[in-house]
Amino acid sequence: MVLTNQSLQSYNTFGIDVSAKYFSEIKSTDDFKALITEPGFEKEEKLILGGGSNILFTKNVDGLVIKNSLPGIKIIKEDPYHSWIKVAAGEPWHPFVLYCVERNLAGIENLSLIPGLVGAAPMQNIGAYGVEIKDTCEEVEAVNMATGEEEIFNNAACEFGYRESIFKHKLKGQFLITAVTFKLNKIFKPNIHYGDIKRTLEEMRVQEITIKAVSDAVISIRSSKLPDPKVIGNAGSFFKNPVVSRKLFNTLISKNPLMPNYPQKNGEVKIPAGWLIEQCGWTGKVVGNTGAHKSQSLVRVNYGHATGQEIYDLAMQIRQSVKEKFAIEIITEVNII
Ligand code: FAD
Ligand code: EPU
């Protein structure tokens, strides 16, 4: 069924009140193929929507919004050390993580509580606490939106990078991701060196570091820092953390000895954009209906009635102030429509 002039307010975690000229929910790949060949819709601009947790709508969508609701989780292969699980794109991410935690399958527990659906996870190679989905993603199944043909992208073909993949840039808007297969580990090697995980496990008085304990620690840290979109509209980090040359890093650290930094394998250095934004005085600032969150400056928020344009304009003001103070151009992570 195709709806017209559908409000998208409850379909994006910023809670922006825009509408879609046409809107349809798909529950199978066949639904999708039928929809894109339906007379009248071939030429419409198409936008795939998952959980809407990484999108900022700045205007109404003058085209067809396709809400992905493809269901299904299946263990498709096992060996003594691994399980391969194929997950349909419409499954919500965090319940899938819990499904794996309950079955003692390791590899994505550090990615607990990330909002959104499985189908969007490869789009920006979701990551948190030292883990990205590229570490466990075996392959991505997708349908070409122009031809309806099915294609399989193995891990290398996805061209994963930090908050990047082939689907976000080179093939932007060209494929509907229909399923993702993950290779998960039956043998658990905890990855707890990042951020506050170790300290949180200690505070939780965890006796044995299990997959569930790591998941619980990540949930606890995230809940204390990041605003819940059900309470305050947001889309997580608005910008990516910049990765700068060693030369620029040396200049910056000599002037800012307390600047947090994460050296990369290639000699470059990642700097938390949240810290840069905080140094520019934005933390907790409210500007009209939007602002920079008080406990995570990297998060733009909607205090109730913000328009997407208002949020975008403030983000650009913040970006400009970081550029003026640190000579670093921070790049948007959220998809701007
Ligand atoms: P949407 O916002 O619906 O879509 C995102 C993009 O992907 C859009 O361009 C859309 O067109 C496209 N898309 C969606 N589904 C498909 C599909 N099936 N096929 C083709 N294209 C598709 N991200 C992280 O990486 N790490 C974090 O720690 C993290 N924390 C967050 C915390 C909060 C509070 C919030 C609100 C967001 C956070 N995010 C984080 C961002 C977000 O949760 C992820 O990017 C998530 O994967 C987006 O999923 P979604 O289904 O909501 O995608
Ligand atoms: N910091 C500040 N002030 C702030 C925010 C951060 O000084 O307002 C500094 C602190 O030193 C802190 C450091 O930045 O220790 C890192 O902050 P945090 O651990 O909150 O992580 P982040 O770098 O801001 C990234 C991801 C998050 C992910 C976390 C945990 C990006 C763009 N963001 O945030 O992902 O959950 O690490 O791994 O890489 C998202 O993509 O939407 C997202 C939330």
Tell me, rounded to whole angstroms, the distance of Cα 1 from its chain centroid: 28
Among 83, 237, 297, 319, the one annotated catalytic: 237
- Residues at CB less than 6 angstroms from ligand 1: 13, 47-55, 68, 89, 114-117, 119-121, 123-124, 126-128, 175-177, 226, 229, 234-236, 335
pLDDT number for residue 9:
97
Of 221, 169, 173, the C-alpha closest to 332 is 169
What integer is the mean pLDDT of 233-253? 96
Q: Ligand 1, residues 14, 70, 94, 123: which to mutate, most atoms within 8 A of Cβ? A: 123
The question of whether 112 is a catalytic residue gets the answer no
Q: Look at strands 290-292 and 269-270 and give their pairing.
A: unpaired
Largest Cα–Cα distance of the chain, in whole Å?
62
SS3 label, residue 318: helix
- Residue 303 confidence (pLDDT): 94
pLDDT of residue 38: 87
Looking at the CA of 121, name the nearest ligand.
1
Interval 125-135: pLDDT, tens: 999 999 999 99
CB-hemisphere CA count at 13 Å for 299?
22
Q: What is the pLDDT of residues 57-66, one digit of tens each?
A: 999 999 999 9
Catalytic residue among 83, 163, 220, 297: 163
Nearest Cα to 128, choosing from 95, 103, 85, 163? 163
